[in-house]
């Protein structure tokens, strides 16, 4: 392996097989550090607030919030595991070994697949709540939702292992030199992954939400046109419907932002090596993916009053008081 004069080797003791340290100018490295570590810090903080809020306050223990909790765990893992690994790839040599590289690649696929699975479950939850509200409490129970979340993570772990099992038995088999961490799948396998882990889930999500919004629009029109005398029972019903419609709108925004951030991430699966290796693609595409994990809690803060109230109680340490878990949050 030829090395340019003045190039810094990752492992100087192996001059013929060592990779070179990425020759990025310091302003570019500084920009990467500032942008990605800022996103990582904000993401960790906001998602921890979500996890603490839903876990601590009993009134927030609802099927929908359990799904949001699972999504927040995925987003937290993105900031704690995936972002540091990606920063190391982009700015330095991979000094932590082939097995850690395998774990990083494995966790990347698990977290991505589980996030998509959570979005599908959230869409199903809203579909039943809006399109079949009379049977929602019997069909969407806490035990069923918890089981669905566990199965989602189990499926993600099993599915992801199929892509990295060879890397476990032959670590670093695609590396051209020491100090490199690559994850390579052939075009056909990448196409199958694109279909199974993105196109199919996205199709299900979009189909369910199109149905949800069609029913929501018809319900809104019905409520506006209902001018005749109503009974006490009917006077309560619009409020319940309004609450469900608002929840559907909030989670609809969540899904739209999710798809906008994930489309660039998955588009490289069908692109050539020239796009994957392009400097702007290697930097911008992961940023979109990581930014989604930061935006989800921001969406909760904008649309969910209970989250803003929970944050206030957490920041002021009122959750440490006895009986704080019974606080009225709704």
DSSP codes, 221-244: HHHHH--S---HHHHHHHHHHHHH
Query: Three-state DSSP class for 158?
Result: helix
Closest CA to 250 of 68, 40, 46: 68
Q: Is 6 left (phi over 0), alpha (psi -120 to 50) or beta?
A: left
pLDDT of residue 229: 44
pLDDT of residue 3: 44
CA distance 311 to 53: 7
Do you know the residue count of the chain?
330
Rg (Cα) of the chain, in Å, rounded?
Answer: 23
Q: Is 178 left (phi over 0), alpha (psi -120 to 50) or beta?
A: beta
CA distance 118 to 315: 28
* Residue 188 in tokens: 């056909």
Domain 26-222+231-326: give its CATH superfamily. Answer: Rhodopsin 7-helix transmembrane proteins (1.20.1070.10)
CA distance 126 to 259: 17
Segments making up each domain of the chain, as ranges: 26-222+231-326
pLDDT of residue 221: 67
Closest CA to 298 of 307, 309, 286: 307
* Residue 325 in tokens: 């878990």
CA distance 91 to 73: 27
Q: Please state, in angstroms and as integers, the Cα–Cα distance from residue 197 to each residue in 14, 51, 106, 113, 262, following that order.
A: 40, 25, 15, 6, 11
Residue at token pair 């589980």? 114
CA distance 306 to 249: 16
Q: Which residues does residue 9 pair with via DSSP β-bridges, in sequence order? A: 20
Predicted TM-score (pTM) of this structure = 0.81
Specify whether the CB–CB gap between 326 and 313 falls below 8 A.
no
pLDDT, one tens digit for every residue, the chain (330 residues) = 444 444 578 877 777 778 887 766 777 778 778 888 888 888 899 899 999 999 999 999 999 899 999 999 998 998 888 888 888 877 788 888 888 888 888 998 899 889 889 989 988 998 898 888 888 889 999 999 999 999 999 999 998 888 888 777 777 777 778 888 887 777 777 778 888 888 888 888 888 888 887 777 776 666 666 544 444 444 444 444 555 566 667 667 777 787 777 777 666 655 544 444 444 445 566 677 778 888 888 887 677 888 889 989 999 988 988 888 888 887
């Amino acid at each position: 392996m030829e090395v340019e004069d003045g190039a810094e080797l990752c492992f100087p003791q192996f001059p013929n097989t060592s990779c070179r340290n990425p020759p990025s100018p310091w302003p570019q490295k500084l920009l990467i550090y500032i942008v990605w570590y800022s996103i990582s810090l904000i993401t960790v903080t906001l998602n921890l607030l979500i996890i603490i809020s839903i876990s601590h306050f009993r009134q927030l223990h609802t099927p929908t919030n359990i799904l949001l909790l699972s999504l927040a765990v995925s987003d937290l893992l993105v900031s704690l595991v995936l972002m540091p690994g990606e920063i190391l790839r982009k700015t330095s040599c991979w000094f932590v070994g082939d097995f850690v590289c395998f774990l990083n690649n494995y966790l990347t696929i698990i977290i991505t697949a589980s996030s998509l699975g959570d979005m599908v479950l959230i869409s199903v939850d809203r579909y039943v709540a809006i399109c079949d509200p009379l049977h929602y409490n019997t069909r969407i129970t806490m035990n069923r939702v918890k089981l669905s979340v566990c199965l989602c993570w189990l499926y993600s772990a099993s599915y992801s292992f199929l892509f990295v099992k060879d890397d476990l038995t032959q670590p670093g088999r695609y590396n051209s030199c020491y100090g490199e961490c690559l994850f390579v799948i052939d075009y056909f396998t990448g196409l199958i992954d694109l279909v199974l882990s993105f196109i199919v889930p996205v199709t299900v999500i979009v189909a369910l939400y199109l149905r949800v919004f069609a029913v929501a629009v018809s319900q809104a029109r019905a409520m506006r046109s209902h001018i005749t005398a109503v009974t006490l029972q009917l006077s309560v019903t619009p409020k319940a419907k309004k609450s469900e419609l608002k929840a559907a709108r909030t989670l609809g925004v969540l899904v739209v932002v999710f798809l906008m951030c994930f489309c660039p991430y998955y588009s490289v699966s069908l692109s050539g090596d020239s796009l994957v290796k392009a400097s702007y693609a290697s930097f911008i595409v992961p940023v979109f993916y990581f930014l989604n994990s930061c935006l989800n809690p921001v969406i909760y803060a904008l649309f969910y009053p209970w989250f803003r109230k929970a944050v206030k109680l957490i920041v002021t340490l009122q959750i440490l008081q006895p009986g704080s878990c019974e606080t009225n949050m709704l």
